[in-house]
Amino acid sequence: MARDDERAADSPKPGITETLKQGLHLGRAIRLVWAISPGWAIMNIVLVVVQGLLPLLAPYFMKRTIDALQAVIAVHAGLAAFRPVLFWVVLAAAAALLAALLGSLAGLAGQYQSMIFSDKVTDIVHSQSVAVDLEYYENPSYYDTMQRAQVEAASRPIGVVNRLVGIGRNAVSLVGVAGLLLAFSPLVALVLFCVALPGALVQSVYARRQYRLELEQTEKDRQASYYHFMLTGTWFAKELRLFNLGSLFRTRFQTLRQQLRGVRLALSRRRTIAGLLAQSLTSAAIFGSLAFIAYQAYKGTVTLGSLVMYYSIFQLAVGAFSSVLAGVAGLYEDNLFLANFYKFMDLKPKVRAPANPAPAPTKISRGIEFQDVHFTYPSDSRKVLEAVNLSIAPGQVIALVGANGSGKTTLVKLLCRLYDPDLGRITIDGTDIRCLDPVEWRRTVSVILQDYVQYGMTAWENIWLGDVESEPDRGRITRAAELSGADSAIRRLPQGYDTPLGYQFKRGRELSIGEWQKVALARAFLRDSELVVLDEPTSSLDPLAEAEVFEHFRRVIQGRSAVLVSHRFSTVKMADYIYVLDHGRVAESGTHRELFARGGLYARLYSAQAARYQET
Ligand code: ADP
302 in the same domain as 261: yes
Residue 7 resides in a domain: no
Assess whether 240 and 145 both reside in one domain.
Answer: yes
Q: Band of the pLDDT at 615, cuts 50, 70, 90?
A: low
| Mean predicted confidence (pLDDT) in 119-127 | 86
- Pocket probe mutation, ligand 1, options 376, 410, 419, max atoms within 8 Å of Cβ: 410
Residue-wise burial string across 368-382, b where 16 or more C-beta atoms lie within 10 A, e elsewhere: bbbbebebbebeeee
Nearest CA to ligand 1 atom 15: 405
Is residue 552 predicted with pLDDT exceeding 80? no
Q: Whose CA is nearest to atom 16 of ligand 1?
A: 405
Residue 511's pLDDT band (boundaries 50, 70, 90)? very high
Residues 181 and 89 in one domain: yes
The stretch 598-612 carries a mean pLDDT of: 84
State whether 78 and 226 are in the same domain: yes
Mean of the pLDDT values across residues 380-389? 93
- At 23, is the pLDDT very low, low, confident or very high (cuts 50, 70, 90)? low
Judge if 596 and 466 occupy the same domain: no
- Where residue 372 falls among pLDDT bands split at 50, 70, 90? very high
* Residue 4 located in a structural domain: no
Asked whether residue 472 is assigned to any structural domain, the reply reads yes
Domain assignment present for residue 2? The answer is: no
Q: What's the whole-number mean pLDDT along residues 539-557?
A: 75
Residue 410 CA, ligand 1 centroid: distance in Å = 6
In-domain check, residue 74 = yes
In this prediction, residue 236 carries a pLDDT of 86
**Cα separations in angstroms, 39 against 33, 42, 133, 158, 566:** 10, 5, 36, 14, 58
**Are 523 and 550 within one domain?**
no
Q: So what's the pLDDT on residue 5?
A: 40
Measured between its terminal Cα atoms, the distance across the chain in Å is 52
Beta-carbon contacts of residue 166 (< 8 Å; ≥ 6 apart):
323, 327
Together in a domain, 500 and 557:
no
CATH no. for residue 481?
A: 3.40.50.300
Q: Are residues 97 and 231 in the same domain?
A: yes
Residue 4, pLDDT above cutoff 50: no
Among candidate residues 297, 313, 345, the one where a domain is terminated: 345
| Domain of 127, in residue numbers | 20-345
Domain annotation covers residue 5: no
CATH of the domain at 137: 1.20.1560.10
Q: How many domains is the chain built from?
A: 3
The pLDDT, as a whole number, for residue 614 is 64
**Does residue 37 carry a pLDDT above 60?**
yes
- What pLDDT is recorded for position 6? 39
Domain boundary, last residue among 528, 545, 562: 528
Best probe residue, ligand 1, of 377, 381, 447 (max atoms within 8 Å of C-beta): 377
DSSP-derived pairing of the beta strands 423-428 and 431-432:
antiparallel
Which amino acid residue places its CA nearest to atom 23 of ligand 1?
Answer: 138
Check whether residue 481 and residue 332 sit in a common domain. Answer: no
Atom index in ligand 1 nearest the CA of residue 134 equals 23
Q: What is the pLDDT of residues 161-210, one digit of tens each?
A: 778 888 888 888 888 888 877 887 788 778 877 877 887 788 778 888 88
Check whether residue 472 and residue 497 sit in a common domain: yes
CA of 405 relative to ligand 1 center, distance in Å? 5
Assess whether 433 and 461 both reside in one domain. Answer: no
The pLDDT > 70 percentage for the chain reads 95
Last residue of a domain, one of 510, 528, 546: 528
Asked if residue 38 belongs to a domain, the reply is: yes
Of 384, 414, 448, 585, the residue with max ligand 1 atoms within 8 A of its CB, to mutate for a pocket test, comes to 384
Q: Is residue 257 part of a domain?
A: yes
Question: 457 and 426, same structural domain?
Answer: no
Residue 514 pLDDT > 60: yes
**Cβ contact 177:56 at 8 Å:** yes
pLDDT at residue 388 tops 70:
yes
Residues with a CB atom less than 6 Å from ligand 1: 138, 377, 379-380, 384, 402, 404-410
